[in-house]
A = this chain, B = another copy of it.
Amino acid sequence: MSLIRYNHRNALADVVGSAHGITTAALTDMLERGARCTKGMLKRSASTPFAFLDLPDDDKTLTAVHALVEQRKGTYDTVLVIGMGGSSLSALATDGALRINQRAERQPKLRMIDTTDPDAVSGALMGIDAQRTLAIAISKSGDTLETVAALALVCQWFEEAKCKLPRHLFVVSNPEGGFLNSFASRHGLIRVAMPKAVGGRFSALSAVGLLPAGLLGHDIDGLLAGAAELRDEMLKSSPSANAPLMNAAIHAALLRDCGKSVSVFMPYASALRSLGAWYIQLWAESLGKGRDAGGRPRACGQTPVLALGPEFQHSQLQLFLEGPNDKLFTMIEIERFRHALPLPADFPYADAGAPILAGKEMGSIIAAQLRGTEQALTEQGRPNVRLTVERLDAKTLGALYMFFELQTAYAAHLLDVNAFDQPAVERGKALTREILDKP
Which residues of A are interface residues toward B (Cβ below 8 A)? 84-86, 89, 100-104, 114-123, 126-128, 143, 145-146, 148-149, 151-153, 155-156, 179, 182-183, 201, 261-262, 268-271, 277, 280-281, 284-285, 287-291, 299-301, 303, 305, 308-311, 313-327, 337-341, 343-344, 347-349, 351-354, 356-357, 360-366, 368-369, 371-373, 375-376, 379-380, 422-425, 427-437
Contact = CB atoms under 8 A, between A and B. Distances in A.
B119 A103 contact: no
A386 to B, nearest CB: 14
Contacts of A321: 290, 424-425, 427-428
A143 B343 contact: no
A55 to B, nearest CB: 20
B121 A423 contact: no
Contacts of A338: 118-119, 122
Given A84-B311, A299-B322, A285 B118 contact: no
A118 B361 contact: yes
A114 B363 CA distance: 15
Nearest to A319: B288
A262 to B, nearest CB: 6
Nearest to A144: B314
A339 B122 contact: yes
Contacts of A363: 118
A159 to B, nearest CB: 9
A40 B341 CA distance: 49
